[in-house]
Amino acid sequence: MTTSPLVPQTPFDRKRRSYTRFVLLVAGLGGLLYGVDIGIIGGALPYLEATSKLNAGQLSVIVAAVLLGSVFSTLFAGLLADWLGRKPLMILSGLAFVVSIPVIALSHGYGSLFLGRLLQGVSGGIIGVVVPLYLAECLPAANRGKGTGVFQWLLTFGIFLAAVIAFYYSIRVEHVASLAGPNAVLDFKDQAWRRIFWTSLPPGVLFVLGSIFITESPRWLFQRGKEAQAYAALLRSRTPEQSDVELAEMRQRSVTDVATRASSGGARETLLQRKYILPFALACVILFCNTATGVNSIIGYNTSILLQSGLSDLSAHIGYVLFTLVNFAMTMGGVALVDRKGRKFLFTIGTSGIVIALLVIGGLFYSNEKSGVDRHQTLQSMVQSDQTLSLPFNAEEAQKLLTSEGYAGGKVQSDKASLAVIYSYGDFTAATSYRRSDDPGAAPLVITRESCVPANRVEAFFKNPFADWRAAQTAPLKINQALIGQVPSARHGWIVAIALYVFMTFFAIGPGVCVWLALSELMPTRIRSNGMSIALVINQIVSTTLAGVFLPVVSKYGYSTIFFMFAAFSIFYLATVVFFLPETKGKTLEEIEQFFDKSRRVASPGQ
């Protein structure tokens, strides 16, 4: 409810508005923790890799441990939210994050690092379900969009903050390297990754403290038969008139549900009932498409994308910081507009802009990549007897590779060339990142069995469940493709960067803010917690799959192919939003549920 500045506010009005702001702050801290979960490892990993003495397989598990914990906790977060309540689960998720920081920062071995990262994943998975769920059920319809928007806004700030912290420590490391010897640099790197994790502790503590002082969800209380407590919870953020209306709607829904169960012989309601399938399926499709825009991969591989587009190493890192800043700033715009313009409007504008930006980026890369040449046969002849390959890719080596199979010259110049290699040991395939011949500080391209074949059968199953892990231990190295291309100009790189900023702008003001709303608003009350858990697990599976295929697709087919693929998914996303998504602005959760009930009856008049 908005209050006219000409009408004096009562103490009750001021108290209610203060509490609403407090809830938004606590939810925002939850989003901040989620963003830190996503972004913190990117800045810490190079220093962890340099000082921890972990092998490639162990490092990959440390990175993926957050995903493992997140998938596991997301799957059960809905059941836990229904059993314990929304508020206790928020406190537990914050505590898990707080405990994870010292476990990681004080660790001196693989086991404690894995445990700490697993706890971070468990925390992030629960927060991703319970905070949007809590906001949807606690805030009045007029503020629900703003509340979920603040969650997403501070989530993007968490990613931006992680990028800034990483950039700060990269400058510090470079400064120490210019003044001291290798041992001092190594010691500072060891401290750097620990300090990066310590910086994320304060918001976790504040989230726990804030969660203690909020009320439980009124709808959860009502479902547990605590009607008086539910009404008191409604009054903390609503006028008495609004509270009376929403409580009456809850009662009416409860009466309708009892009648429905009676007519069906008392059968228990499940996600598979026809009246729930449409909103559940729509929420799942939206969440699937949201990830299939490639946003997580574009964030995760942003620096690599900018490097290959033509920017220098420093420019690419600056470009990434600007990218996360655009994400954060534009999310503020989405938060301001979501309750004014509506969800469907922002979804439509956002997905339309995403499609255009992705097509432009794909076209920019295609115009450059079509001139690349493959030299896998030459690299195959350079494989050593121990089935490894080491190649310092500089201008001289690039010239040798280009002319090795009769290349007479063309658009690829040896002093501005890039190289990416796809290789395999048995059934396991891997791809290198791009190496540039104009980068004097680039490490040699090194291919070993450890960089491709998992360290144990468990890792092997998740990487390729159909592969013969035992045979891969002795299989020869096979170079499948070695693509040499021209590094574009810096101007080309900044054009790609601007297109990425446009992509992030439209994503932030549309799907970035609205997707959490769609997930929490479309699900009816009886299935909301479990439905959100299942939908988020689907989302994480899609995100993991895209992250896993990103480098292999890029190395084999180029960046243009992956961006065109993201554009195709985004076109489907736009069609889904335009033709199937209802507008939910200003509607209570019970009114949204009634909309789908009516839609089902119209679609099935014989029922």
Residue 607's pLDDT is 42
Is residue 372 within 8 Å of 412, Cβ to Cβ?
yes
A 10 A CB-CB count for 603 gives 10
More confident residue, 51 or 524: 51
Cα–Cα distance measured from residue 224 to residue 257, given in angstroms and rounded to the nearest whole number: 15
Cα–Cα distance measured from residue 205 to residue 259, given in angstroms and rounded to the nearest whole number: 45
**How confident is residue 507, by pLDDT bands cut at 50, 70 and 90?**
very high
Half-sphere exposure at residue 36, Cβ-oriented, CA atoms within 13 angstroms: 26
- In angstroms, how far is CA 497 from the centroid of its own chain? 20
Is residue 155 within 8 Å of 327, Cβ to Cβ?
no
The DSSP element (H or E) to which 436 belongs, if any, is: strand 435-436
Cα–Cα distance measured from residue 216 to residue 12, given in angstroms and rounded to the nearest whole number: 20
More confident residue, 85 or 406: 85
SS3 103: helix
More confident residue, 478 or 140: 478
A 10 A CB-CB count for 436 gives 20
Backbone angles phi, psi at 484, to 5 degrees: -105, 125
Structure tokens at 63: 């990175």
Average pLDDT over residues 479-485: 84
Above pLDDT 90, what percent of the chain? Answer: 16
Above pLDDT 70, what percent of the chain? Answer: 81
Residue 416's pLDDT is 81
SS3 568: helix
Q: Is the pLDDT of residue 202 over 50?
A: yes
Q: Of 148-152, 548-552, 571-575, give the range with the top mean pLDDT.
A: 571-575
Residue 272's pLDDT is 57
Q: What is the mean pLDDT of the chain?
A: 80
More confident residue, 307 or 258: 307
**How confident is residue 510, by pLDDT bands cut at 50, 70 and 90?**
confident
Question: In the chain, where are the structural domains located?
Answer: 11-235, 373-490
Q: Is the pLDDT of residue 96 over 50?
A: yes
Q: Is the pLDDT of residue 2 over 60?
A: no
Residue 275's pLDDT is 62
CA distances from 530 to 54, 67, 527, 536 (A): 38, 19, 6, 10
Is residue 204 within 8 Å of 98, Cβ to Cβ?
yes
Q: Is the pLDDT of residue 581 over 60?
A: yes
Residue 75's pLDDT is 77
Fold of 11-235: Growth Hormone; Chain: A; (1.20.1250)
SS3 224: coil
Among 152-161, 193-202, 355-364, 383-392, the range scoring the smallest mean pLDDT is 152-161
Q: Is the pLDDT of residue 517 over 80?
A: no
Q: Of 28-37, 227-236, 449-458, give the range with the top mean pLDDT.
A: 227-236
Q: Is the pLDDT of residue 261 over 70?
A: no
Q: Is the pLDDT of residue 115 over 80?
A: yes
Q: Is the pLDDT of residue 44 over 50?
A: yes
Average pLDDT over residues 539-544: 75
**How confident is residue 351, by pLDDT bands cut at 50, 70 and 90?**
very high
pLDDT tens-digit series, residues 298-323: 887 787 788 778 887 678 778 888 88
Average pLDDT over residues 185-214: 87
Cα–Cα distance measured from residue 76 to residue 84, given in angstroms and rounded to the nearest whole number: 12
More confident residue, 40 or 251: 251
Among 215-219, 222-226, 441-445, 558-562, the range scoring the smallest mean pLDDT is 441-445
Q: Is the pLDDT of residue 282 over 50?
A: yes
**How confident is residue 334, by pLDDT bands cut at 50, 70 and 90?**
confident
Residue 563's pLDDT is 94
Among 307-316, 503-512, 584-593, the range scoring the smallest mean pLDDT is 584-593
Residue 271's pLDDT is 55
Average pLDDT over residues 91-104: 93
**How confident is residue 471, by pLDDT bands cut at 50, 70 and 90?**
very high
Cα–Cα distance measured from residue 287 to residue 543, given in angstroms and rounded to the nearest whole number: 10
Specify the DSSP class assigned to residue 266: T
**How confident is residue 94, by pLDDT bands cut at 50, 70 and 90?**
very high
Average pLDDT over residues 84-110: 90
More confident residue, 281 or 493: 493
pLDDT tens-digit series, residues 240-253: 888 888 888 788 87
More confident residue, 519 or 452: 452
Residue 7's pLDDT is 45
Among 272-281, 328-337, 476-485, 533-542, the range scoring the smallest mean pLDDT is 272-281
Cα–Cα distance measured from residue 496 to residue 487, given in angstroms and rounded to the nearest whole number: 13
